[in-house]
């Protein structure tokens, strides 16, 4: 189809006929179909094709041949819900089997025939029994693997709970299968008993066959029950044993486990402007003493008249931090304040564990050195390893102490800035003092200039002397040459 | 894809209101304890599902069994059902899986067989046979889409979700299937053409 002549693709025409195109596009396509003969022909062909396909009719489903959908027995509906309801979804909820017509019969209903299908003996379907057997095998394997597995103490309780739930689910599933088999057997019996009179001639044959089937089902049912009961007992024993072992493990673990205490390194910094630096510093030292702290660092800068600054790193016990800060804020105008905290509990626990391991290693090495080492080379190797371990232990102990100190003492960085106050000096100095100062200054200046000349001569004299000696003779020779050329020569006549 | 709108705040209602409920809500109502809802669903879809299998299998009894298995599967999976797609997509998705499994088993046992219609002199039956044979000549991928559209009356979106294909692919394949089927049906006898 030429796209220039047709605004719509043939597939769009088909989609329009199928109701897949709506809105303005559908309106435009409808208009186009009225105007375009080719597209209209395509639409007619597609409609005719669908009409031809209708010829392939299928007979109604045998399940709904009976019109007795209305008034469906409540019992039957409840049976369906009992069988598949979400809560307590178990076949065991079904009431005892009652007489009913065959699945497809004049008095059948939808769900009764449907349930008949569900309850149909499935002995010929070995996958049901294979599934039950697989469940039993999985149950055995899971219980054995769980018993053999080393369960982490922190996860033991959760694992036991999930394991119990899983086993309960498996047992419930096996029970459902067992009950299902029992009900299928009963339904089979009932379907034989309640057969329509038209089938009476076949009744005896079906009954005998069904009874055989029921007998087979019952034997298998009994076997499955015994197996399920045995599995239940075994699983309970295993769960009890595992529970006991895990509880004992938990009890020992709780004794040895160090409950981590929350350790936080607290820091703070204050930047303040004070009116009087001397008073502020005195107050700062007073605060430090009263709160049993110390100055890790203290630095002052600036002249007394030009606005001094004081920078200090104050360490106080962690419990005194808040009180110290509140007192420090009263020293002057607070420009900036920062507080921070870093949790080091995990680091502390890790470090303690590593330290404990290193101590154990040291102990083993010491035992090895005293008991088992014979050769000198081995002794030296063990000694070297022992020294390395001890060094590591000392380093970790230092880290641990440092960490505990950091936690027990909070750090406060204090920066005090004094307000700038220029001092106006109105009293002029005395004239005598000024004359004396001028004289002293003149004397100092003369002496400094003389000293400077001497220093210059001492410093530069050798160099000047060297160059004078070096250049003196060439200069004198050149001077003489020039003077000889410039002098007038004597006249020859005069010479004669 | 258009999603079904399910309102959860409506009461369960009686059987007459159940008849007006959308499929997705009926399934949710059944899950909440009303068995009449499943009866209504069964009434609506037992024939279409049976036709689905009947058109694709030779044995009517087997088609009936598979139709029942489809509803059993829906019952067993009722707890897992979430109204993310339309119920029809869910239903025919299960039916399609059961059909594929059946075809695999049939392929191991014997050659695959399609639906058969008893030959007779009835012109309607002859037309049905003619249509069936024409459809059998289509490729499998075209045939599935054509059957889902023409007989199961699924929308393009539903077919695309069911077969996990893009909607445009579904549309183009459906068009090709119809074009090919039209060519296969052309040698139809004039009297049959008039009848249809």
Q: What is the ipTM of this complex?
A: 0.76
The yes-or-no verdict on residue A155 having pLDDT over 70 is: no
Q: Does domain B1-115 have CATH number 1.10.1740.10?
A: yes
CB B159 within 8 A of CB B144: no
Q: Tell if the CB–CB gap between A52 and B156 is shorter than 8 Å.
A: no
Question: What local confidence, expressed as pLDDT, does residue A423 receive?
Answer: 65
Mean pLDDT for the stretch of residues A281-308: 84
Residue A138, sorted as left (phi over 0), alpha (psi -120 to 50) or beta, turns out to be alpha
Query: What is the average per-residue pLDDT within A89-93?
Result: 33
The three-state secondary structure class of A125 is coil
CATH T-level fold of B117-196: Arc Repressor Mutant, subunit A (1.10.10)
Residues of B in Cβ contact (< 8 Å) with A89: 79
Residues A402 and A288 in one domain: yes
- Looking at residue A102, its pLDDT comes to 35
Considering the domain architecture, whether residues A328 and A352 belong to the same structural domain is answered as yes
Region B185-195 average pLDDT: 56
pLDDT level of residue B2 (50, 70, 90 thresholds): very low
Cα torsion at B28, B34, B38, B41 (round to 10°)? -70
Q: Which pLDDT tens digit goes with each residue over A420-471?
A: 766 666 666 788 888 999 999 999 999 999 999 999 999 999 999 999 999 9
For A55, the closest of B64, B131, B171 (CB atoms) is B131
Query: Do B196 and A51 make contact, defined as CB atoms within 8 angstroms?
Result: yes
Residue A49 lies in a domain: yes
Q: How distant is the Cα of B171 from the closest Cα of chain A, in angstroms?
A: 7
Same domain, A322 and A342: yes
**pLDDT tens digits, one per residue of A17-40:** 888 888 888 888 888 888 888 888
Q: Residue A31, Cβ neighbours under 10 Å: how many?
A: 11
DSSP A291-330: TT-EEEEEEEES-TTS--EEEEEEEEEGGGHHHHHHHHGG
Residue to mutate among B1, B152, B178, B190, with most A CBs inside 10 A, is B178
When scoring A53, A93, A104 by the number of chain B Cβ atoms within 10 A, the one with the most, hence best to mutate, is A53
Pick from A11, A15, A58 the residue to mutate for testing the B interface (most B CBs within 10 Å). Answer: A58
Residues A173 and A220 in one domain: yes
Q: Which of A54-58, A181-185, A267-271 has the highest mean pLDDT?
A: A267-271
Check CB contact under 8 Å for A117 and B51. no
Q: Are residues A196 and A281 in the same domain?
A: no
Q: Are residues A131 and A29 in the same domain?
A: no
In a domain, A423, yes or no: no
**B114 closest CA partner among B69, B91, B147:** B147
Range of the domain at A32: 10-53
Shortest Cα distance from A81 to chain B (angstroms)?
6
Shared domain check, A187 and A166: yes
* Residue A125 in this model has a pLDDT that exceeds 80: no
Q: What is the pLDDT of residues B108-124, one digit of tens each?
A: 765 544 555 554 445 66
In a domain, residue A429? The reply is no
In a domain, A16, yes or no: yes
Q: Domain end: A215, A236, A256, which one?
A: A256
Q: Could you give the number of structural domains in chain A?
A: 3
Task: Provide, as residue numbers in chain A, all residues whose Cβ is less than 8 Å from the Cβ of B184.
Answer: none
Q: Model pTM?
A: 0.39
Q: Which residues of A touch B39 (CB under 8 A)?
A: 69, 72, 77, 110-111
Q: In what order do the strands lie in the sheet with A333-343?
A: A294-301, A309-317, A409-418, A264-274, A333-343
For residues A176 and A276, membership in a common domain is answered with: no
Query: For residues A78 and A200, what is the distance between their CA atoms, to the nearest angstrom?
Result: 30
- Residue A400 has a pLDDT of 86
User: Which chain A residues touch B116 with a CB distance below 8 Å?
Assistant: none
DSSP assignment letter at A103: S
Residues in chain B with CB shorter than 8 Å from the CB of A84 are 75-76, 78
User: What are A374-387's pLDDT values in tens digits?
Assistant: 677 777 888 888 89
Q: Is residue A474 part of a domain?
A: no
CB-CB contact of A112 with A76 (8 Å): yes
* pLDDT exceeds 70 at position A294: yes
Mean pLDDT of A2-14: 73
Q: Which residues on B lie below 8 Å from A55 (Cβ)? A: 124, 127-128, 130-131, 196
Task: Name which of B178, B185, B174 is nearest B145 in CA terms.
Answer: B174
| Angle, alpha carbons A171-A176-A178 (nearest 5°) | 95
CA angle A395, A400, A406 (to 5 degrees): 125
Instruction: Among A224, A256, A288, give the residue marking a domain's end.
Output: A256
| Residue A453 touches chain B, beta carbons under 8 Å | no
A430 falls within a domain: no
Q: Could you tell me the pLDDT band of residue A362, with boundaries at 50, 70 and 90?
A: confident
Same domain, A373 and A287: yes
A272 plus A366 within the same structural domain: yes
- DSSP assignment, residue B45? H
Domain assignments of chain B as residue spans, ordered by start: 1-115, 117-196
Task: Say whether both A392 and A372 belong to one domain.
Answer: yes
Q: Does A117 touch chain B (CB under 8 A)?
A: yes
Q: A13 CA to chain B: closest CA distance, Å?
A: 10
Output the pLDDT for position B136: 86
Q: Is residue A174 part of a domain?
A: yes
Task: Out of A256, A287, A307, pick the residue that ends a domain.
Answer: A256
Q: What is the pLDDT of residue A69?
A: 38
Whole-number pLDDT of residue B126: 75
Q: Which residue of A has its CA nearest to B52?
A: A58
DSSP for A375-440 reads: SHHHHHHHHHHHHHHHHHHHHHHHHHHHHHHHHHEEEEEEEEEEPP-------PPPHHHHHHHHHH
Residue A245 clears pLDDT 70, i.e. is over it: no
Rounded CA-CA distance A387/B67 in Å is 81
Is A157 part of a structural domain of the chain?
yes
Q: Phi and psi dihedrals of B14, rounded to 5? A: -90, -170
Q: Is the dihedral of CA A292, A293, A295, A301 positive or negative?
A: negative
Verify that A374 and A236 share a domain, yes or no: no
Chain B within 8 Å of A51 (Cβ-Cβ)?
Answer: yes
Backbone angles phi, psi at B170, to 5 degrees: -60, -45
A148-152, A304-308, B38-42, range with the lowest pLDDT: A148-152
**Cβ separation of A110 and B55 shorter than 8 Å?**
no
- Give tens-digit pLDDT for B58-77: 888 888 889 988 988 888 88
């Amino acid at each position: 189809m030429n796209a220039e002549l047709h605004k719509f693709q043939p597939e769009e025409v088909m989609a329009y006929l199928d109701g897949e195109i709506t809105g303005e596009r559908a309106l435009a396509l409808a208009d186009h179909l009225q105007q375009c003969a080719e597209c209209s022909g395509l639409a007619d062909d597609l409609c005719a094709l669908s009409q031809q396909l209708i010829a392939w009719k299928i007979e109604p489903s045998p399940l709904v041949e009976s019109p007795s959908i209305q008034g469906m027995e409540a019992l039957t509906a409840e049976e369906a819900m009992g069988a598949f309801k979400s809560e307590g979804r178990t076949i065991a909820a079904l009431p005892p089997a009652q007489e009913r017509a065959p699945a497809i019969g004049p008095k059948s209903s939808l769900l009764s025939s449907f349930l008949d299908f569900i309850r149909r003996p499935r002995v010929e379907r070995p996958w049901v029994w294979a599934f039950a057997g697989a469940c039993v095998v999985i149950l055995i394997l899971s219980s054995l693997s769980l018993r053999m597995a080393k369960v982490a103490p922190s996860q033991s309780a959760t694992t036991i709970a999930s394991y119990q739930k899983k086993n309960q689910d498996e047992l419930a599933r096996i029970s459902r299968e067992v009950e299902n088999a029992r009900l299928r057997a009963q339904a089979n019996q009932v379907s034989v008993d309640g057969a329509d009179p038209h089938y009476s001639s076949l009744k005896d044959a079906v009954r005998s066959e069904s009874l055989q089937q029921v007998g087979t089902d019952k034997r298998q049912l009994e076997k499955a029950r015994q197996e399920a009961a045995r599995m239940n007992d075994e699983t309970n024993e295993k769960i009890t044993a595992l529970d006991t072992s895990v509880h004992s493990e938990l009890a020992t673990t709780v004794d040895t486990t160090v409950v981590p205490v929350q350790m936080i390194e607290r820091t703070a910094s204050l930047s303040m402007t004070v009116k009087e630096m001397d008073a502020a510093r005195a107050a700062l030292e007073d605060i430090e003493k009263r709160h049993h702290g110390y100055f890790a660092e203290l630095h002052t800068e600036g002249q007394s008249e030009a606005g001094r600054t004081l920078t200090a790193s104050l360490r106080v016990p962690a419990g005194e931090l808040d009180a110290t800060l509140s007192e420090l804020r009263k020293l002057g105008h607070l420009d900036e304040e920062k507080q921070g905290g870093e949790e080091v509990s995990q680091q502390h626990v890790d470090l303690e564990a590593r330290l404990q391991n290193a101590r154990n290693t040291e102990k083993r090495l010491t035992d090895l050195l005293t008991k088992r080492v014979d050769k000198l080379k081995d002794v030296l190797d063990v000694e070297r390893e022992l020294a390395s371990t001890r060094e590591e232990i000392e380093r970790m102990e230092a880290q641990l102490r440092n960490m505990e100190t950091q936690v027990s003492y909070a750090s406060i960085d204090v920066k005090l800035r004094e307000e700038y106050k220029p001092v106006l000096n109105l009293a002029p100095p005395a004239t005598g003092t000024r004359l004396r100062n001028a004289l002293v200054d003149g004397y100092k200046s003369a002496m400094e200039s003389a000293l400077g000349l001497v220093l210059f001569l001492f410093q530069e004299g050798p160099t000047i002397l060297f160059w004078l000696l070096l250049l003196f003779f060439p200069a004198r020779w050149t001077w003489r040459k020039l003077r000889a050329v410039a002098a007038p020569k004597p006249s020859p006549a005069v010479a004669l | 894809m258009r999603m079904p709108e399910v309102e959860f705040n409506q009461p369960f209602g009686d059987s007459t209101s159940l008849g007006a409920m959308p499929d997705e809500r009926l399934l949710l109502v059944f899950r909440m304890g009303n068995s009449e809802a499943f009866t209504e669903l069964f009434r609506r879809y037992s024939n279409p599902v049976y036709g689905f299998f009947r058109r694709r299998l030779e044995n009517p009894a087997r088609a009936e069994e598979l139709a029942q298995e489809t509803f059993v599967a829906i019952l067993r999976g009722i707890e897992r059902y979430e109204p993310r797609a339309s119920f029809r997509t869910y239903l025919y998705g299960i039916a399609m899986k059961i059909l594929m499994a059946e075809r695999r088993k049939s392929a191991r046992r014997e050659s695959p067989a399609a639906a058969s219609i008893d030959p007779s002199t009835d012109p309607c039956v002859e037309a049905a046979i003619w249509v069936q044979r024409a459809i059998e000549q289509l490729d499998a991928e075209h045939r599935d889409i054509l059957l889902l559209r023409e007989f199961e009356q699924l929308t393009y979106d539903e077919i695309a979700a069911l077969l996990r294909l893009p909607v445009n692919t579904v549309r183009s394949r459906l068009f090709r299937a119809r074009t090919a089927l039209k060519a296969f049906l052309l040698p139809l006898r004039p009297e049959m053409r008039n009848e249809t």
